[in-house]
Copies of this chain bind each other. A is one copy, B any other.
Amino acid sequence: MTLETAILSLDNPAFSAYVLAASIMLLKLLLQPWMTVYRMMKVRAGFRSPEDAKKSPINPNPEPGQLEPNEYVERSRRMNLNDLESIPAFLVAGLLFVLMDPPLVLAQLLIWLYVIARAAHFIAYATGQLHDIRATLWSVSSVSVLVMVVYTLVRVLIG
């Protein structure tokens, strides 16, 4: 069995943890826009494209103001943008980090710290908790990915 066979196989517990965490975070990334859709449909507002205010099966009774920003909808869009700033970076950084064959306990710690911090950040953001709480959780998630990247950088520089 070659090194890479071991690394990119579910028999490798670090890769397995990464694939599990990556799948959960991909679900989060993919489902957030559905939350925006749900909110737009619920309040029949917060649309963005002019054609979305036209009469159609999903907008049977157009009203003025449907294209205005709506905080209930905008919150979900900001959460989506926050995901875009964080999750793709984690997905790639995590894969490269695992390819560096890090100590298993470090890999599991950083990967699950990220997932837990992002889950808590989601709850804090959705329920409008104080900036301090959201910022702290966001910082934990950011630092956990930064450590993965620095580990990878050191490995490729020092060998």
Contacts and interface: CB of A to CB of B under 8 A. Distances in A.
This chain: copies in complex: 3
Contacts of A3: 5, 9
A106 interface: no
A92 B92 contact: yes
Chain A interface secondary structure, helix, strand, loop or mixed?
helix
Interface string A83-103: 011001101110110010000
A128 interface: yes
Interface residues of A, number: 67
5 contacts: A3-B5, A10-B156, A23-B150, A26-B93, A34-B142
Contacts of A129: 51
Contacts of A149: 23, 26-27, 30
Contact of A142 (B16, B22, B30): B30
A115 to B, nearest CB: 13
